[in-house]
Amino acid sequence: MPDIDDFSPDDDFPLASAFEHAPLRLTVDLGAMADNWRDMAKRSGKARAAAVVKADAYGLGIEDAGQTFYRAGARDFFVATVAEGVTLRPYAPQARIFVLSGVWPGQEADILGSDLVPVLASEEQLSHWTAVAAQAGDHPCALQVDTGFNRLGLTAEDALSLAGDPCRPASFSPVLVLSHLACGDTPSSTMNTVQRESFQQVAAAYEGIDSSLSASAGIFLGPDYHFDLTRPGIALYGGEAVNGMANPMRPVATAEARIVMIREAGEGQTVSYGGTYRLQRASRLAIAAVGYADGYQRSLSGSGIPLREMGYGGAYGFVNGYQVPVAGRVTMDMTIFDVTDVPANAVRAGDYIELFGPNVPLDEVARAAGTIGYEILTSTGLRYERLALEAE
């Protein structure tokens, strides 16, 4: 028996093993991420491809992602907030970093200090920023134009009159004009054509500065949608960008939960809260250390009640070569998987169940939850031990 005094976490349990034993772990394949960026850059044709790394790079880690895209050649980045831009800067030293939500009074020092480019989205932001820029000396900004989304941006009319306004403030020096598609994931939508035509007029009025319309989905709509700069996000992380199209991207993230215990339960018994899942036979159940607090949403529950047409009423995991359905309701910290069809010697306590990854497509999990891959990725939460596999 080792003496308790010998217990030295740093020596006996080096950091690397934290991942090997973590109850919940997330592997991020940076090589696949870099490949996905190169793929998006290629599909963007004559346009340059930026990298969208907002929300901690869709939950996968903005430092690793930023560095990976930078090394792959990205020189334009988009973040949502000033704080994200400040975090990213050291990993993308020579890049332009655009802040999609613009700038609030009080954030000027961070914008200037980290050399971020605010994306101005409203008349208020415009007048605030031009006053700041007048004081600070020349500092670039970007202009967001709303062409039908009704989220951020000046209306196309206002953007056009601003372009031609001889009295506009001299400190307004846009380097990019951008808009965002509402239905880019639905190629047949007439919205796409309407927005593109509206944006084309705006881009023409701002001739000489870069224009940008398309996120991941828009890139697949073809060259008419590419303009000067594309803004892929979800596709870089392996997610599905276009509805009903086979996803050509490489999977990037693998989420796994450890099986805490395996239990036997009899025919006719029920599983988890509400007793919604009734066993039709004597069963073996694997209790895994993941729950809705980890973004494994309660709507993934195997309730037997379809939540929407596409779902069959629950997600499934993958363990040692077998698909295993979620049994009953997902709870805060635990999820129960039915492993009855897995041979007893092929699954044990301590094994890991893949929640999404190469064997369980992210977007299939999303569909089972009635949501999209974006939400599954960005809600993985704080309890995952993360391992980044380096790009070659």
User: Does 151 carry a binding-site annotation?
Assistant: yes
Tokens of 25: 């772990």
Residue among 77, 129, 75 nearest 102 (CA):
129
Residue 177's H or E segment, with its range, is strand 174-178
Shortest distance (Å) from residue 179 CB to ligand PLP: 8
Say whether 123 sits in a helix, a strand or coil.
helix
Question: What 8-state DSSP symbol labels residue 165?
Answer: -
Q: Which residue is nearest to ligand PLP (CB)?
A: 233
- Return d(Cα 153, Cα 16) in angstroms, integer: 46
Active site residue 273: yes
Interaction mask 356-385, ligand PLP, x per CB under 6 A: ------------------------------
Say whether 32 sits in a helix, a strand or coil.
helix
Select the residue interacting with ligand PLP from 24, 52, 53, 202 (CB under 6 A).
52
Tokens of 9: 């976490």
Residue from 54, 58, 70, 374 carrying the catalytic annotation:
54
Shortest distance (Å) from residue 217 CB to ligand PLP: 6
Q: What are phi and psi of 256, to 5 degrees?
A: -135, 140
Residue from 70, 273, 277, 312 carrying the catalytic annotation:
273
Q: Which is nearer to ligand PLP, 235 or 290 (CB)?
A: 235
Question: What 8-state DSSP symbol labels residue 391?
Answer: P
Q: What are phi and psi of 145, to 5 degrees?
A: -125, 135
User: What residues have CB less than 8 Å from 167, skipping those under 6 apart?
Assistant: none
Shortest distance (Å) from residue 373 CB to ligand PLP: 9
Interaction mask 174-213, ligand PLP, x per CB under 6 A: ------x---------------------------------
Shortest distance (Å) from residue 40 CB to ligand PLP: 9
How many residues make contact with ligand PLP (CB under 6 A)?
12
- Return d(Cα 216, Cα 103) in angstroms, integer: 25
- Return d(Cα 19, Cα 27) in angstroms, integer: 9
**Binding of residue 289 to ligand PLP (CB under 6 A):** no
Residue among 342, 329, 345, 336 nearest 259 (CA):
336
User: What residues have CB less than 8 Å from 384, skipping those under 6 apart?
Assistant: 22, 24, 25, 26, 255, 294
Select the residue interacting with ligand PLP from 36, 198, 216, 272 (CB under 6 A).
216
**Binding of residue 33 to ligand PLP (CB under 6 A):** no
Mutual orientation of helices 30-43 and 62-72 as an angle, nearest 10°? 50
Active site residue 352: no
Shortest distance (Å) from residue 145 CB to ligand PLP: 11
Say whether 355 sits in a helix, a strand or coil.
strand
Shortest distance (Å) from residue 156 CB to ligand PLP: 16
Tokens of 191: 């919205």
Shortest distance (Å) from residue 210 CB to ligand PLP: 14
User: Does 75 carry a binding-site annotation?
Assistant: no
Q: Name which of residues 141 to 180 contact ligand PLP (CB under 6 A).
A: 180
Q: Which is nearer to ligand PLP, 52 or 126 (CB)?
A: 52
**Binding of residue 234 to ligand PLP (CB under 6 A):** yes
State whether the Cα torsion 7-8-14-15 is positive or negative.
Answer: positive
- Return d(Cα 369, Cα 362) in angstroms, integer: 11
Nearest 10 degrees: Cα torsion 215, 81, 173, 170 = 150
Interaction mask 62-101, ligand PLP, x per CB under 6 A: --------------------------------------x-
Supply the residues annotated as catalytic. Answer: 54, 273
Q: Give the footprint of ligand PLP on this chain (CB under 6 A).
A: 52, 54, 100, 180, 215-217, 231-235
Residues forming the annotated binding site for substrate?
151, 332
